[in-house]
Amino acid sequence: MTIPPVTPVVIPPVTIPPVTPVVIPPVTIPPVTPVVVPPVTIPPITPVVIPPVTIPPITPVVIPPVTIPPITPVVIPPVTIPPITPVTIHPVTPVTPPSPADASHQAPSAGHPIYQMTSLGRQWAYTLPTGLFSTPVTGDTLTYAATLADGSALPAWLRFDQAKQAFSGTPDGKTPNSMEIKITATNKGGLSSSTTLTLQTEPNVFEVGTFQTVSAPAGQASIFESGTFAKLTAGNEDHALLVTGAFDSATLGNGNNSVILAGSSNTLTAGNGNNAVTATDSSATVKLGDGNNTIVTEGSANVTVGAGRNSIKATGSFTTLNLGDGNNTIVAVGGSANVTVGAGSNTIKATGSFTTLNLGDGTDAATLGNSFANVKVGHGTYDLEFASGFGSKLAFGADATSDRLWFQHVGSDLRIGVLGSAENVTVKNWYASNPEHVSQIVAGDGKALSDFDVEKLVQAMAAFAPPAAGQAALTANEQKALQPALAANWR
């Protein structure tokens, strides 16, 4: 390998400029002025004279001699220990936890009653729904039996398979019938519970299935709506209708209909016939016309009827009843019932708590059997009994202001009249030996009177004769005399 010649690097000369010297000017230090310290004068110390301490002579304390009386010895009588009776310990019988075979305190639980409909002369088969009975005992098994409700045997045409929990047979005869069958489940421990199956046998039953929207043929009387989301329309015949599906609707005409709603969230609309409706359905909606209707609801229901003579019994909670101007008999047993009536003559018994009554311009008698009742009256005549008035309220309409209400003690009752009106309210047993009060009375102008203050107005108004019919306001003398009591008690 040949190395090429190296070219030398030429470094140019570096020129350093001359350094300019730094001139430091001379520093002048001024002369120091001496500090003159004045002499310190110490005053003479005055000696402290301590006076002599005189200690008085100590008087000796003479302790008298202590005489200790002689100790009388305590004589302890001899203790006699009776002979010990030996205790016999009996062997303990082991306790065995209850098994499914002897679970004597855990009976099976029964479900709600069930309903079915089938045609006379037609083969019928039905299997009990799963979960109709349940047992709290793990490993327990149930055996089933079926009889008529009175305990007698099933009719010859009807068979019950205990193993499959299924009915089958062909109903004979030509006469419609409603048969109540008692179904009993028994566990290994011999405990049992029962529910009922109501079987309606009707001629030529028209069946409506799931998602069907149908009109019943003319002359069709017996209808079984068992599907879900089904819609039925029928005419003015007298129908026997059974609805066991969910979210179904049925619209019937002006016939006298017999209807059972036994599913969930179903709606019935019917005309002006005399209808008999039983709704074991939860959240049923019933809309009927001006006929004389008989209605029984067990779940939460919303019932609207017209101006007929209606009999309604609602045993579920959160029931809403809207009635027209007919003469009605209403029993609302469940809590939080809401009842509205028109201008007819109504008899109402509401035993649940938190009941609301809206009374029209008729003649009404109502018994409120529990606390927190709320009653609003119209322009009629009312007999109200607050058997348990705790938290209850009686409210008047807007035109019945506090200066127009007149209070009277009548027998054992409190009577409240409205000046210039035939309207009056009698609160029964206000003065009885076991008084029944309403907690608060609210006038149309919003002013409230507590039950503790009612007697003050009764006494003040007792000095005057009750206002004559047609007198719409207090007289000048009444106004002058009563104004202090009115102002003090209406708040």
Q: Distance between CA atoms of 404 and 474, rounded to whole angstroms?
A: 7
Q: Please report which confidence band the pLDDT of residue 137 belongs to, taking 50, 70 and 90 as the band edges.
A: confident
Is residue 458 classed as helix, strand or coil in its secondary structure? helix
Q: Please report which confidence band the pLDDT of residue 218 belongs to, taking 50, 70 and 90 as the band edges.
A: very high
467 and 329 both lie in a single domain: yes
The reported pLDDT for the residue numbered 102 is 53
Radius of gyration of the chain from its Cα atoms, rounded to whole angstroms: 50
322 and 436 both lie in a single domain: yes
Contact 385, 361 (CB under 8 A): no
177 and 269 both lie in a single domain: no
Q: Distance between CA atoms of 266 and 251, rounded to whole angstroms?
A: 11
pLDDT in tens, 294-317: 999 999 999 999 999 999 999 999
Does 122 map to a domain?
yes
Return the H-helix or E-strand segment holding 384: strand 381-386
157 and 266 both lie in a single domain: no
294 and 407 both lie in a single domain: yes
The reported pLDDT for the residue numbered 41 is 72
Q: Answer whether residue 97 shows pLDDT above 90.
A: no
163 and 289 both lie in a single domain: no
- Averaged confidence pLDDT in the chain: 89
Q: Answer whether residue 283 shows pLDDT above 80.
A: yes
pLDDT in tens, 418-437: 999 999 999 999 999 999 99
266 and 171 both lie in a single domain: no
Does 145 map to a domain?
yes
From 201, 218, 243, the end of a domain falls on: 201
Q: What is the mean pLDDT of residues 456-468?
A: 95
pLDDT in tens, 228-248: 999 999 999 999 999 999 999
173 and 303 both lie in a single domain: no
The reported pLDDT for the residue numbered 275 is 98
Q: What is the mean pLDDT of residues 275-288?
A: 96
b vs e for 238-271, b when ≥16 Cβ sit within 10 Å of the residue's Cβ? ebbbbbbbbebbbebbbbbbbbbbbbbbbbbbbb
Residue that is written with structure tokens 């709704």 in the block: 279
pLDDT in tens, 168-178: 999 987 777 89
Q: DSSP of 202-228, one letter per residue? A: ESS-EEE-TT-EEEPPTT--EEEE-SS
Residue of higher predicted confidence among 469 and 456: 456
279 and 414 both lie in a single domain: yes
164 and 273 both lie in a single domain: no
Does 153 map to a domain?
yes
Q: Answer whether residue 103 shows pLDDT above 70.
A: no
Residue of higher predicted confidence among 87 and 474: 474
Cβ atoms within 10 A of the Cβ of 75, count? 5
Percent of the chain with pLDDT over 70: 82
Does 331 map to a domain?
yes
Contact 335, 356 (CB under 8 A): no
Does 181 map to a domain?
yes
b vs e for 38-49, b when ≥16 Cβ sit within 10 Å of the residue's Cβ? eeeeeeeeeeee
281 and 412 both lie in a single domain: yes
CATH code of 196's domain: 2.60.40.10
Q: Answer whether residue 193 shows pLDDT above 70.
A: yes
Residue 263 dihedral angles phi and psi, to the nearest 5°: -105, -125
Token duo for residue 199? 């079987």
* Rounded (10°) angle between helices 454-461 and 476-489: 170
Residue that is written with structure tokens 């819609």 in the block: 231
Does 92 map to a domain?
no
194 and 311 both lie in a single domain: no
Does 236 map to a domain?
no
Residue of higher predicted confidence among 132 and 53: 132
Q: For residue 392, what are the domain limits?
A: 261-489
From 168, 201, 234, the end of a domain falls on: 201
Cβ atoms within 10 A of the Cβ of 313, count? 16
What is the tally of structural domains in the chain? 2
Across 48-191, the runs of DSSP E, i.e. the strands, are 109-110, 114-119, 124-127, 133-134, 143-148, 158-161, 166-169, 177-186
Residue that is written with structure tokens 């066991």 in the block: 244
From 172, 201, 230, the end of a domain falls on: 201
Q: Pairing state of beta strands 448-450 and 440-442?
A: antiparallel
Does 302 map to a domain?
yes
Among the ranges given (33-37, 105-109, 461-465), the one the predictor scored with the smallest mean pLDDT: 33-37
The reported pLDDT for the residue numbered 136 is 86
The reported pLDDT for the residue numbered 488 is 96
Return the H-helix or E-strand segment holding 483: helix 476-489
